[in-house]
Structure 1
Amino acid sequence: MSWTAKLIKHRDENRIAVQFEKNVALITRIKQFEDARWSQQKKVWHLPDTIENRDHFQIIQYKNTIPSPEGILQITKFIQWLSSKRYSPSTIKTYSEALKSFFIFYRQKNIVDITNEDVIIYNNEYILKNNLSASYQNQITNAIKLYFKTVRETKIELEKIHRPKRAKVLPNVLSKEEVKLILNVHSNIKHKMMLSLIYSCGMRCGELLALKPLDIDSKRNIILLKNSKGKKDRIVPLSPKILAMLRDYYTAYKPKTYLFEGQVEGKAYDARSLQLILKQALTKTGIKKPATLHWLRHSYATHLLESGTDLRYIQELLGHNSSKTTEIYTHVSTKNIQQIKSPFDDL
């Protein structure tokens, strides 16, 4: 029984993908690893990218898998600086793990002697050689630049560190008919309510799960999203249809702390369970697209644009800092494209 393992990026998380021919014994064994998951989209089992898992699956990038004592000290200082600036826990983890990877690569070199040339070598000998994504490389670059800008004096010239070119990937969008099928297929009012709220307001998954009953302002017909991405509050309009559904939901479930709670009272609903609800909806409706919760947010923005909503308002509703981020939806909107007549029709 043979298998292969490699590092991958899955939903902005570093994971180890393990591939093998379908075998009951191997499936049973891999399920014993903590947080082992099957990706229907990638058709692989994947695990957290930890030193223990790398060793087990023989993914050893270096002779040493920990930074030097100096590197460990500097990572600790970097984490302290990020914490003092109130970066989110997920950002702190991402940046510190990225810097750790860089320091492991240069374990035998004094940090003060690291130069721009070393960054280029790292990108070529580690990032590219291991087929890691441009987005992961971008995270590494951000971490390196921020660390050397704030924590440590160095020979590095920050303005000369370049980021990789990002692939221009269009957002995935569902049709209105597909969205309607997905939202109506669940008979469970909580499941239907959560998916409907994400689409009707263009919320991120984390924003939905952080909602509290008091965030719903039924008199002003708005929802207050607190401390969203970038630590910004914003308001989104509350659909009358959604308000009616919320009242029925509240009567049935009477949530205490969070608007949507899991099995334990007072604790927010689990993000993975919510994603599973969407997958069940896709199965029941027969929709073959590998849709995620974020597809509902993309669909909300695209459908608003197609109905004539000004791009500036969509930017505010989505909470985008830059209009350039919102402009990507103009590339997937079919309103004007469908009106273009192909020259083939005149042949």
Structure 2
Amino acid sequence: MAQKKIEEVTDEFWNTEVNDYNKELIEEFLNQQHLSDATLKQYTSALKIFAKWVHDFNRNKDIPDLKPRDALKYQNWLISKGLSSSAIKFKRSSVSSLCNFIELYYNDDHPNFRNIFTKAIPTVAKSNVKEKVPLTMKEINKIAKELEKREDWQKLAYLWFTYSTGCRREESRQLLKEVYTYDKHQDKKGNTKDYYVTHNIRAKGKGKEGKVRKFTFDQKAMDAIKKWVYYRKLQVPDDNCPFLFVSKDKEGYRQVSPNTFNLWCKGFSKILGGKPVHPHLFRSSRATNAVVEEGKDIKAVQKLLGHNSSQTTEIYVVRDESDDLDDLY
């Protein structure tokens, strides 16, 4: 069953109904310039929903007048709405961060205020999630062959680049068209490697700048990228959009929206007869195939995915536990 969502707060309600002081606190918190654009959007939505809840169910009180019992009431309300555990935890975390901000910077005005989400408020139990089933190389090749048959070169470039790098949706979105001109990587000693390296890309990480890093990709991905760029030039000769993955409108090409990749993956799913495919699955598939099928060292995969710890990389590796049972019996 699909997870439910809470309706977004309208600008009209925000501007006319929400407590002015609460609006001031929330807007000042959001204007700290410490959040990435994507995270800022999520925080804005979450805190507006909280402000509306305070209006609807807590007499539109000033947030510094709220108590831990109000935090519990809010969390229970979120649970009653049928949200996933991850959605509830994010909304809880957003309010908690706002409270920490008030506690730190408004201490003169509210010396007795403390974060309403104390340790006494129980965390939400993790929702049952579908088993993560990585894509095998046979399945990835099946998708690739079908895309070649359709001459869908952009999706083919996305498939091989995203799988080769193990990058996330927003990271693929930032890839510049110029990479098709790159030569194979050379190390500090001048030795030519059998892979290519991208320009700097903002990866997932704390703060507005996130974690800036470069991604490595193989020859198969480069060949697909070059084919897509060649096709692009035929379609729009004066193409000046710098991004590799694009949508076409009457004015030419523009950078794709993140949701476009989700739509492409739904098409990949149909090619595989309905097996669930989503952008993040390529990351787990890359890790699993490299470690389990190819026998690569977990440290090498850790470096590929940009993790600080190999323990994080292990989360992405799906192993067949029946092999261990075979050894036991």
The two structures have a TM-score, normalised by structure 2, of: 0.75
Pairing 1:156–2:104 present:
no
Secondary structure of the structure 1 residue equivalent to 2:124: coil
Pairing 1:260–2:212 present:
no
Partner of 1:299: 285
CA distance in 2, matches of 1:328, 1:50: 33
Partner of 1:142: 93
1:95 pairs with 20, 23, 43, which one?
Answer: 43
User: How many angstroms does 1:66 deviate by?
Assistant: 4.6
CA distance in 2, matches of 1:99, 1:158: 14
Pairing 1:120–2:95 present:
no
CA distance in 1, matches of 2:179, 2:156: 19
For structure 2, the 5+ residue unaligned runs are: 108-112, 186-195, 234-238
Pairing 1:202–2:189 present:
no
Partner of 2:199: 224
Pairing 1:105–2:53 present:
yes
User: How many angstroms does 1:310 deviate by?
Assistant: 2.5
CA distance in 1, matches of 2:136, 2:243: 31
Which shifted more, 195-204 or 100-109? 100-109
In the superposition, relative to structure 1, how do residues 315 and 225 fare at CA in structure 2: closer, same or farther (>3 Å)?
farther
Partner of 2:156: 192
Secondary structure of the structure 2 residue equivalent to 1:262: strand
CA distance in 2, matches of 1:66, 1:133: 28
CA distance in 2, matches of 1:276, 1:123: 32
Which shifted more, 243-252 or 186-195? 243-252
In the superposition, relative to structure 1, how do residues 321 and 146 fare at CA in structure 2: closer, same or farther (>3 Å)?
farther
In the superposition, relative to structure 1, how do residues 188 and 96 fare at CA in structure 2: closer, same or farther (>3 Å)?
closer
CA RMSD of aligned residues (A): 3.1
Do the aligned residues in 2 keep the contact of 1:199 with 1:300 (CA within 8 Å)? yes
CA distance in 2, matches of 1:297, 1:183: 17
* Greater relative contact order (Cα < 8 A, sep 6+): 2
Q: How does 1:79-90 map to 2 (within 5 A)?
A: 79-81=30-32, 84-85=33-34, 87-90=35-38
User: How many angstroms does 1:119 deviate by?
Assistant: 0.8
Q: Supply the AA of the counterpart residue of 2:184.
A: K
In the superposition, relative to structure 1, how do residues 337 and 310 fare at CA in structure 2: closer, same or farther (>3 Å)?
farther
Q: Supply the AA of the counterpart residue of 1:240.
A: Q
Q: How does 1:1-347 map to 2 (within 5 A)?
A: 8-9=3-4, 14=5, 49-51=7-9, 66-81=17-32, 84-85=33-34, 87-107=35-55, 108=59, 109-124=61-76, 126-151=77-102, 152-153=106-107, 154-156=113-115, 160=119, 163-167=123-127, 169=129, 171-186=132-147, 187-215=151-179, 217-220=182-185, 221-230=196-205, 231-254=210-233, 256=240, 257-264=242-249, 265-283=252-270, 285-306=271-292, 307-330=294-317, 332-334=318-320, 337-338=322-323, 340-341=325-326
Q: Supply the AA of the counterpart residue of 1:104.
A: K
In the superposition, relative to structure 1, how do residues 337 and 288 fare at CA in structure 2: closer, same or farther (>3 Å)?
same
CA distance in 2, matches of 1:310, 1:176: 18
Secondary structure of the structure 2 residue equivalent to 1:263: strand
In the superposition, relative to structure 1, how do residues 106 and 191 fare at CA in structure 2: closer, same or farther (>3 Å)?
closer
CA distance in 1, matches of 2:2, 2:115: 28
User: How many angstroms does 1:110 deviate by?
Assistant: 2.8
Q: Supply the AA of the counterpart residue of 1:315.
A: Q
In the superposition, relative to structure 1, how do residues 271 and 91 fare at CA in structure 2: closer, same or farther (>3 Å)?
closer
Do the aligned residues in 2 keep the contact of 1:199 with 1:299 (CA within 8 Å)? yes
User: How many angstroms does 1:203 deviate by?
Assistant: 1.8
Do the aligned residues in 2 keep the contact of 1:222 with 1:235 (CA within 8 Å)? yes
Do the aligned residues in 1 keep the contact of 2:162 with 2:168 (CA within 8 Å)? yes
CA distance in 1, matches of 2:126, 2:28: 30
Do the aligned residues in 2 keep the contact of 1:7 with 1:130 (CA within 8 Å)? no
Identity across aligned pairs (percent)?
24
The two structures have a TM-score, normalised by structure 1, of: 0.71
